[in-house]
Chains A and B, each alone.
Chain A
Amino acid sequence: MTTLDSRDNRPLWQRYVHGHHWRTQAEEFDGAKLGFWLFLTTEVLLFGGIFCAYAIFRSLYPGAWKEGSSLLDWKIGGINTAVLLISSYTMAVSIYYIQVGKISRARLNLMFTILCGALFVTLKLLLEYTPKWTGWFFFMDPALGHHSIDAAAGNGLFGLFRHVEGYGGKRPGSLYEYGFGHDPHMPLWWSVYYVGTSIHALHVIIGMILIFRVWLKAGKGVYGPNYYTGVEIAGLYWHLVDLIWIFLFPLLYLIH
């Protein structure tokens, strides 16, 4: 049995000792992966509820769903999809680099993945939620071009935001503000939209935290060719988050 010896200056991953209740390290790794796959199943089922609500209300109120998805900008959604796909790639690459012992390259890729996640969340909040909820557009918002700026309302926050009269109020449920000629079931569409995308965004943030932890631990030399369970698991989680978005994106943005 090995003990952590202060004179032993091999990196931590080389000195890794598996949990005392496992027979081998390989079994411990398999067990962790099996457990995490089960956890991912629960995540899929959780989103399953949202997809189910989407399907039911879509079949009940096709008009609202048509109008709703036409109010979403597929370009922003598309950019975000690309961001997540790229980050999934860098995540996978970082696992490879850990496996071959190139720790600093792995960390670089991990950090890039986290930044992609941050970009995703920022775009979501800034270019999607804010204008819809309040009517204030970010000045570089690609969707802004379609709308005439309300000069009287002026600019907000050092001129970074522009207000478009009558655009806001696209909120869920009773918070919705009816505009002229809107489908009466729009509040429901926005409920499904916000619940689905915000719970997904929450998962992105949790994923970023997980990967950040892995990044820190990798810096201390915890992971290496011999031991990379944590990286693998963070990777699985990140791919799931990506996968769910791959379903949300066409359902919400593309299908009219």
Chain B
Amino acid sequence: MSSGHHSHGSYLESKGGFFANVLDWATTVDHKKIGVMYLFAILFMFFLGGVAALAVRIELLEPVRVKTTFTATGTEPVTQLLRADVAADIKNKDGTPAKDTLLTAGTRVQTHPAAKTVLGNELTSGTQVDVLDDAGKTVVQTATLKGSVSVTDPKTGAATASKITGQFFGSPDATAIAAGNNTYNRLFTLHGAIMVFMVIVPSVPASLGNFFLPLMLGAKDVAFPRLNLLSWYIYVTGSIFAVSSIVLGGVDTGWTFYTPYSTSTDADSIRVVFMILGAFILGFSSILTGLNFIVTVHKLRAPGMGWFDMPLFVWAVYSSGIIQVLATPVIGITLLLLVFERITHIGIFDPALGGDPVLYQHFFWFYSHPVVYVMILPGMGIITELIAVHSHKRIFGYRAIAFASLGIAGVSFIVWGHHMFTSMSEVASTIFSALTFLVAIPTAVKVFNWVGTLYKGSITINTPMLYALIFLFTFSIGGLTGLPLGTLSTDMHLHDTYFVVAHFHYVMMGGTIMAFIGGIHHWWPKMFGKMYNEKAAMLGAILVFIGFNVTFFTQFFLGVRGMPRRYASYVDEFQTLHIISTIGSFILLAGFLVHLSVFVASLVAGRKAPANPWGGLTFEWLADSPPEEHNFAHEPLCTHGPYDYDTTVPPHWDPKDYPIPAENLAAAGSH
């Protein structure tokens, strides 16, 4: 063995000049470097998706809608002729609602209270008006205008000064409004597609999972290192496809690509095909990562490590790997059929040719429901680690959590229909509704176990722990609001409203992303060998928590009150809540900027991290910070459970600082 060539330095050690380093990273098969490359790629995509989200929120601050001003002179009551159809709530004289009536073109209305002669009165939706009969004299009923209103001057017949309010995409004419709506559709599609396919699905497994799964197992690498690098390149290729569709003008189908809209919109353009192919390619990357992890877990555990000695993060990533492998091919063939459908109209999803658009929805959700658990399971795994390590306590119900992961993975395959209650038969809907409640069981088991672990633990409040607590709060809200959505009768009201939007943001952002950021902080010292500023990071966490809830809790109210999702505009009643939500999104932005600066400051000038800053027991804390190229100086041997805090001194810790009660040791010895 030519010993001189084997460096035992940190994996981050420079390999020479700039180009030598670039080449080294671009061709590396080291799971740690690949994990870090994934981390940066994902954070970059998170930034892109975030910009789109902020643009969407800004549009909703003051969306484009028509307000008409009219001028009145003299003492006679001003009557206005409505030009367009306007929805109105007609009330009887006694104030009881009569019925929803359309004030058709030509109806005369008079603002209410009528006596006033108003100058520059604004006739917006929500204005109270009196409806006059044809003769223009009798007040018949009181009405509230809904929707957009336009008014003609009763004397000249010309449109009175109507102004279009709203900013960002707004300018005062109908084509500009249409163009603005178009931009809006593209922005939310961009946001959704990036966040789902390029951020949340790969986030935890591909970055932190890649880095820590082998370390936690005591392995030198994942089972197939070159496949791992390939999957990173596939990820980048898929992202380039998807992003290039945006550069070419954007896609407005929504991230769900529902047919027949997705097969007919922008028919002259290749953009939609690019976006769909992007998602298809990203699927391969996801499959390869999942497959790699499954084999790694099966074959590369350290000597002495049985299945139930594995850290629960590993269990979670393993379970989500199973879903990735079993669900992604279905979306693969679906997207492929969609591309064929678009290019040659093969008719599988096209009712004009005998095809079935609902089949698309079945295929799509057969993948996309299980995949929400690909998103959340690794996040749950992180939370388990954070809670155990930072409360220094044996995890409560190890096996329950491990089997709950598998249980969730299993059940996730039989509930997809709950996204389609409005497009299925009653019987099918009822069955899917009943099955959906099964998912809540293993999920709740986990939440109880986490809370049980915290009970009487010696809790350190730092950023990772703060994020774990945030997760418990937000994810519980997200999970519980899933129940009214899974209930057939209530979902009829809530489907396709902001309630759904709020629900999935509470689980995906409040769940996965919170766990992800918490995990990044938890493992930051290990990955980069530097400590971060705890106080500043906690400030960031608090801002994120406040911003997140302000942004999304309001959306539950919007949804219950009937605000539909994916609209660029709304009636005035919704504006206050939308403004609050937009303010929240900027608080969120502030929180993320704090985190970003904390990370940069840590990389530039952070204190050197010890090997085991938190006193964790899993193998990654045995390795150096940052780990050496082949992870461990000697192959670790599994001699204690991952959470045996009551009987084990953490690696690199002095037993003096970690006194183990004698009776615990005696009990451990008697096993």
Contacts and interface: CB of A to CB of B under 8 A. Distances in A.
Interface in A27-49: 27, 30-32, 34-35, 38-39, 41-43, 45-49
B561 interface: no
Interface in A166-198: 172-175, 184-185, 187-188, 191-192, 194-195
Interface string B196-230: 00000000000000000010000111111101000
A49 B363 contact: yes
A45 B330 contact: yes
B115 interface: no
Interface in A2-49: 3, 19-22, 27, 30-32, 34-35, 38-39, 41-43, 45-49
Contact of B353 (A20, A48, A174, A199): A174
B303 to A, nearest CB: 8
* Residue picked from A1, A46, A184, A192, most chain B C-beta under 10 Å: A46
Given A1-B1, A46-B333, A188-B348, A38 B353 contact: no
B345 interface: yes
Contact of B348 (A22, A38, A53): A53
Given A49-B334, A61-B354, A195-B340, A35 B291 contact: yes
B350 interface: yes
Q: Is the interface of B mostly helix, strand, loop or mixed?
A: helix
Contacts, number: 127
Given A174-B347, A191-B348, A38 B294 contact: yes
Interface string B145-164: 00000000000000000000
B359 interface: yes
Contacts of B340: 172, 191, 195
A50 B334 CA distance: 9
A216 interface: no
Interface string A53-79: 100110011001000000000000000
B416 to A, nearest CB: 13
A31 B221 CA distance: 13
Given A38-B294, A188-B353, A45 B329 contact: yes
A43 B329 contact: yes
Contact of A31 (B298, B333, B350): B298
B613 to A, nearest CB: 27
Interface in B6-63: none
Given A1-B1, A27-B299, A41-B325, A173 B350 contact: yes
Given A35-B292, A42-B325, A173 B299 contact: no
Contact of B354 (A38, A41, A188, A199): A188
B355 interface: yes
Contacts of B334: 49
Contacts of A191: 340, 346-348, 353
A113 to B, nearest CB: 25
A34 B295 contact: yes
Contacts of A38: 291, 294-295, 325
B356 interface: yes
A20 B298 contact: no
A27 B220 CA distance: 14
Contacts of A195: 337, 340, 346, 348
B350 A45 contact: no
B511 interface: no
Contacts of B287: 39, 42
Nearest to B226: A19
Contacts of A172: 340, 344, 346-347
B339 to A, nearest CB: 11
A42 to B, nearest CB: 4
Contacts of A61: 354
B262 interface: no
B595 interface: no
Nearest to B631: A21
Nearest to B288: A39
B353 A35 contact: no
B220 A20 contact: yes
B174 to A, nearest CB: 34
B354 A42 contact: no
B344 A35 contact: no
Nearest to B2: A3
Interface string B279-301: 00000000100011011001110
A173 B346 contact: yes
B464 to A, nearest CB: 29
Given A20-B220, A49-B337, A31 B345 contact: no
Interface string B310-343: 0000000000000001101110111011001100
Nearest to B630: A20
A187 B354 contact: yes
B32 to A, nearest CB: 12
B292 to A, nearest CB: 7
Interface in A118-150: none
B326 A45 contact: yes
Contacts of A185: 354
A49 B299 contact: no
Contacts of B294: 34-35, 38
B549 to A, nearest CB: 39
B224 A35 contact: yes
Contacts of B300: 21-22, 31
A174 B220 contact: no
Given A50-B333, A187-B353, A175 B299 contact: no
A31 B295 contact: yes
Given A188-B348, A191-B347, A42 B328 contact: yes
B333 A175 contact: no
A191 B346 CA distance: 6
A20 B294 CA distance: 19
B465 to A, nearest CB: 33
Contacts of B337: 49, 53, 195
A39 B344 contact: no
Given A45-B330, A173-B344, 17 more contacts: A20-B630, A21-B300, A31-B224, A31-B298, A34-B298, A35-B223, A45-B329, A46-B329, A46-B330, A48-B329, A48-B330, A49-B329, A52-B363, A56-B359, A61-B354, A173-B341, A173-B353
Give 7 nearest A-B pairs by CB, closest first: A49-B333, A173-B346, A174-B345, A21-B220, A191-B346, A45-B329, A173-B347
Interface of A: 1, 3, 19-22, 27, 30-32, 34-35, 38-39, 41-43, 45-50, 52-53, 56-57, 60-61, 64, 172-175, 184-185, 187-188, 191-192, 194-195, 199
20 contacts: A3-B1, A21-B225, A32-B224, A35-B292, A35-B294, A38-B295, A42-B325, A43-B329, A45-B329, A47-B333, A50-B333, A53-B337, A53-B348, A60-B354, A172-B344, A173-B350, A174-B344, A175-B345, A188-B355, A199-B336
Interface of B: 1-2, 214, 219-225, 227, 287, 291-292, 294-295, 298-300, 325-326, 328-330, 332-334, 336-337, 340-341, 344-348, 350, 353-356, 359, 363, 630
